[in-house]
């Protein structure tokens, strides 16, 4: 039984969430998918399932241990090599989730006296990684969203009083997951190269979707191979599960020896790794998938009067939490799986619908959603 003082606290917090319209619950998938990150429509592709089944029969259903014990397989090595080649880097290290990667690689890279500078709208995983680094004695600077001038000022101010030998790291999302806008990677690369700062970009929502062969925003913006640390995920556009960090061999060796999320976690199961390999192959082989996902998102933005963005994420601003929930439920009842996003995922007063598009959607389904948005928003 939960002790009474704990029960009272938990009940009070539950009541507060309910009063604010921020109660969350797990809802089963129902209706047309306009909320997942399955941008290329690969999650249910039978070719991924077949690759996973073959790997399970050959290597087993689970890894059995951490990579540094007995949890590695030739499939892990093959996927890391393929991802590094795709991202234009020397090496790659697999992690179990994007959250785990970001939250553990940042404190593994900075020490007391060093500094991290993080975009104000970065994903929660980067935020938590920054907090852990700060707890270890690093300086943490939050620069205005996409504001390179603010970042430059903060870097210069910190350097003026930083201890000798102190290092700086800049962290940013590539595609920002709640707004669908993107970072200025060419500007960030130039700034970090000038300042001697290490740049980490999170390409979770760009991997497989952007660039000449889907390698990501760095490829799209002409800085492919120039970003020292590129994090990406396998569970979004690539239709599988897991995450990775692409970098040079020195950085990989450092993370392999110091990133606690890697060292102390059972490795990704071989079937998952094989599905990731197949998803990567298909993402590069079938460009129509990313072209379709992006075109459908642009159709939606145009209908909603929004400016173009190179992503498949379309936010619909609502404002009050309860109104966002009401609108989402109305659309769900009409057959569209759209979800409301509320604080603390987004800033106070900016609750919204987060709509995504993917290659699995039909033109008529997108047009029907547009009509429903106009009808239910009135």
Is residue 297 within 8 Å of residue 357, measured between CB atoms?
A: yes
In DSSP terms, which residues pair with 233 in a beta bridge? 243
Known catalytic residue at 76: no
**89 vs 32, 158, 248, 275, CA distance in Å?**
38, 30, 6, 22
Separation CA 377–CA 327 (nearest Å)? 7
Strand intervals (E) in 168-216: 168-173, 198-202
Record the tokens describing residue 312, joined without a space: 């498949």
CB 211 within 8 A of CB 224: yes
Spatial neighbors of 51 by CB under 8 A, at least 6 apart, are 271, 274, 275, 277, 278
Strand partners of residue 142: 118
| Catalytic-role residue among 177, 240, 265, 311 | 177
Short-list 293, 249, 240, 292, CA closest to 268: 240
Backbone angles phi, psi at 122, to 5 degrees: -65, 155
Paired sense of beta strands 229-233 and 168-173, if any: unpaired
**157 torsion bin: left (phi>0), alpha (psi -120 to 50), beta (else):** alpha
Marked catalytic residue, from 236, 240, 311, 360: 236
Asked about 177 being catalytic, the answer comes back as: yes
CA distance 197 to 117: 10
The DSSP H or E segment spanning 177 is: none
DSSP calls for 315-339: EEEEESHHHHHHHHHHHHHTTEE-E
What stretches of the chain show up as alpha helix (H) in DSSP?
A: 4-20, 46-59, 74-87, 98-109, 124-135, 148-161, 185-195, 217-220, 249-258, 260-263, 270-285, 288-303, 321-333, 363-377
Of 59, 87, 123, 205, the active-site residue reads 205
Query: Is 205 a catalytic site residue?
Result: yes
Q: Name the residues annotated as catalytic.
A: 177, 205, 236
């Amino acid at each position: 039984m939960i002790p009474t003082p704990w029960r009272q606290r938990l009940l009070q917090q539950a009541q507060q969430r309910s009063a604010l319209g921020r109660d969350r619950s797990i809802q089963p998938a129902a209706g047309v998918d306009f909320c997942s990150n399955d941008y290329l429509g690969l999650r249910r592709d039978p070719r991924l399932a077949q690759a996973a089944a073959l790997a399970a029969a050959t290597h087993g259903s689970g890894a059995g241990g951490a990579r540094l014990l007995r949890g590695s397989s030739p499939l892990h090595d093959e996927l890391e090599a393929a991802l590094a080649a795709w991202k234009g880097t020397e090496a790659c290290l697999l992690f179990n989730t994007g959250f785990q990667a970001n939250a553990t690689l940042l404190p593994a890279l900075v020490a007391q006296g060093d500094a991290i500078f993080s975009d104000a709208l970065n994903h929660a995983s980067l935020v938590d990684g920054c907090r852990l680094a700060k707890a270890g004695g690093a300086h943490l600077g939050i620069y205005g969203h996409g504001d390179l001038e603010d970042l430059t000022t903060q870097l210069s101010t910190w350097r003026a009083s930083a201890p000798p030998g102190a290092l700086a790291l800049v962290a940013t999302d590539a595609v920002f997951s709640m707004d669908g806008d993107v970072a200025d990677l060419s500007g960030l690369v130039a700034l970090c190269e000038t300042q001697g700062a290490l740049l980490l970009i999170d390409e979770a929502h760009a991997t497989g979707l952007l660039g000449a062969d889907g390698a990501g925003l760095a490829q799209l913006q002409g800085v492919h191979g120039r970003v020292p640390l590129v994090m990406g995920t396998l569970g979004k556009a690539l239709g599988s599960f897991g995450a990775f960090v692409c970098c040079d061999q020195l950085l990989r060796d450092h993370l392999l020896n110091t990133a606690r999320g890697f060292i102390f976690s059972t490795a990704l199961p071989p079937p998952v790794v094989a599905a990731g390999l197949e998803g990567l192959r298909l993402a590069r082989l079938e460009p129509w998938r990313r072209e379709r996902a992006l075109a459908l998102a642009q159709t939606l933005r145009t209908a909603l009067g929004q400016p173009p963005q190179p992503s498949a994420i379309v936010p619909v601003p609502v404002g009050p939490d309860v109104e966002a929930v009401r609108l989402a439920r109305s659309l769900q009842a009409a057959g569209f799986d759209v979800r409301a996003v509320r604080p603390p995922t987004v800033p106070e007063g900016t609750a919204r619908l987060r709509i995504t598009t993917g290659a699995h959607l039909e033109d008529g389904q997108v047009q029907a959603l547009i009509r429903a948005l106009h009808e239910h928003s009135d």
